[in-house]
Amino acid sequence: MSFLQPSDLDAILLSFKVACTATLLATPLGIGVAYLLVYSRIPGKSILEGIVNLPLVLPPVVIGYLLLVLFGRRGWIGAWLIRFDIQIIFTLTGAIIASAVVGFPLLVRSIRLGMESVDTSSQKAARTLGAGAWDAFFTITLPLSGRAVLAGMTLMFARSLGEFGATIILAGNIPGVTQTIPLAIYEYTSSPGGDRMALSLCLVSILLSFAVLLASGAASKSLDRK
């Protein structure tokens, strides 16, 4: 018997797909929300902040259930999407949404800290040099918070790789469709004689996480050198 089953490879690939898509989709949104939290003077900022941070303190299973209520066939969004023949629950999209929601607060938190540490005088200087507010944001503030954005993406990616509770409720545990590494491990441990295979996947999980950390370290260094 080999080290990994063919279905394990599916799970690994799926985990990667989910984590990458969730992180890439959430990043622009995360930058936008962090910008609102740091620079805007909109009313209800603390409520927005609370909503963004909620997934951090809620049990993932609760988030999964809330998402199910929202995206289910009779949910507010689900019922509307069904008209376009789009189904979220028990699909890859569902797994991505679950990961994105759970990892989002980590992303926003990191980007926000980065933006707050950017000296506002650099932005002022840019404005007096002829840059409009958006121009100054994209050429000064965002590049100067680049490391924080990267750190947030890394955190979120790692969190997505490990996401379990919300995913299993919203997307289920369907091999080849929504079964990511943690879900596969769960299935192995709950079936007799699956210990060894669960351990192999754990090892893969450790290696993957380590690779992510190394890659983010290298990327952050190259940002420094610029």
Dist CA 11 CA 65 (whole Å): 23
Nearer to another protein, 14 or 140 (CB): 140
Q: Least distance in Å: CB of 116 to another protein?
A: 16
Q: Least distance in Å: CB of 185 to another protein?
A: 42
Own/partner pairs for 212-219, CB < 8 Å, 24+ apart?
A: 212/154, 212/157, 212/158, 212/161, 213/154, 213/158, 216/150, 216/151, 216/153, 216/154, 219/150
Nearer to another protein, 85 or 224 (CB): 224
Dist CA 60 CA 101 (whole Å): 10
In the complex, the residues that contact another protein under the rule CB under 8 A are 119, 121-122, 124-133, 135, 139-140, 143-144, 146, 226
Q: Count CB atoms within 10 A of the CB of residue 113.
A: 15
Nearer to another protein, 4 or 144 (CB): 144
CA 99 to chain centre: 5
Q: Least distance in Å: CB of 49 to another protein?
A: 25
Nearer to another protein, 74 or 226 (CB): 226
Nearer to another protein, 15 or 141 (CB): 141
Dist CA 208 CA 128 (whole Å): 46
Give the tokens for residue 146. Answer: 């680049």
Q: Least distance in Å: CB of 34 to another protein?
A: 18
Q: Least distance in Å: CB of 140 to another protein?
A: 6
For residue 73, give the DSSP letter: T
Nearer to another protein, 139 or 191 (CB): 139
Q: Which of 89, 90, 88, 97 is nearest to 19 (CA)?
A: 97
Dist CA 179 CA 94 (whole Å): 12
Q: Least distance in Å: CB of 141 to another protein?
A: 11
